[in-house]
Amino acid sequence: MTRLWMGLVALLLAGAAMATPTPMPSDDTAAIKAVLAAYKTALERRDLTGVEALFAQRNEVIESGKVEGSYADYVTHHIGPELGHIQRFAFEDYAVTVEQEGDIAWATETYRYTIVLPDRADPIVRQGAATSVLQRKDGVWRIRALHSSSRAPKPAATTP
């Protein structure tokens, strides 16, 4: 009888171990969104000081069909000089979705942005989207790849 009880207890413990859920990796959505928000805020401030810390050592930036190279290349040859000529850069209707698998995450951002230039009467308004791949290393999320594109917004539908 003792063997029967011991066998039942062993089966119960084995079943409980199998029913115990495996711990899921932590959901770092807020930390990932904070990295993307910091980059967006720097663009709006038109000051990229310290932004390189948001990017992994190995990274790539693609904008509207052009491989810009690393973030350092992008700042030196593209966005850095452009920001020096912009009076205002503002995002609107910003939305972001994030998915995470272990130490890799990908995010999709959608937004409208407005750029005001000193020598242009009308602002530049664009509908944009970006996909970012981020990697967690030593507990810190950084951007490994950023691909953004934009187009003129479609005109609003008119009602008769």
DSSP string, 54-81: GEEEEEEEEETTEEEESHHHHIIIIIHH
Architecture of 25-151 per CATH? Roll (3.10)
**CB burial readout 78-93, b (16+ within 10 A) else e:** ebeeebeeeeebeeee
CB of 12 within 8 A of CB of 25? Answer: no
- Among 35, 141, 140, CA closest to 96: 35
SS3 for 24? coil
Which is higher by pLDDT, 11 or 116?
Answer: 116
Q: Write out pLDDT tens, residues 36-55.
A: 999 999 999 999 999 999 99
Map out the domains of the chain as residue ranges: 25-151
What's the CA gap between 122 and 100, in Å, rounded? 40
- Among 120, 105, 106, 115, CA closest to 150: 115
Residue 24 pLDDT: 45
What is the H or E stretch that residue 125 is in?
strand 124-137
Which is higher by pLDDT, 4 or 88?
Answer: 88
Q: Write out pLDDT tens, residues 52-85.
A: 999 999 999 999 999 999 999 999 999 999 999 9
- Find all residues with CB under 8 Å of 128, minimum gap 6, and list them: 109, 110, 111, 112, 113, 148, 149, 150, 151
Helix-, strand-, coil-residue percentages of the chain, each rounded to 5: 30, 40, 25
SS3 for 127? strand
**Over residues 103-112, mean pLDDT:** 98
What is the chain's Cα-based Rg? 24
This prediction's pTM: 0.80
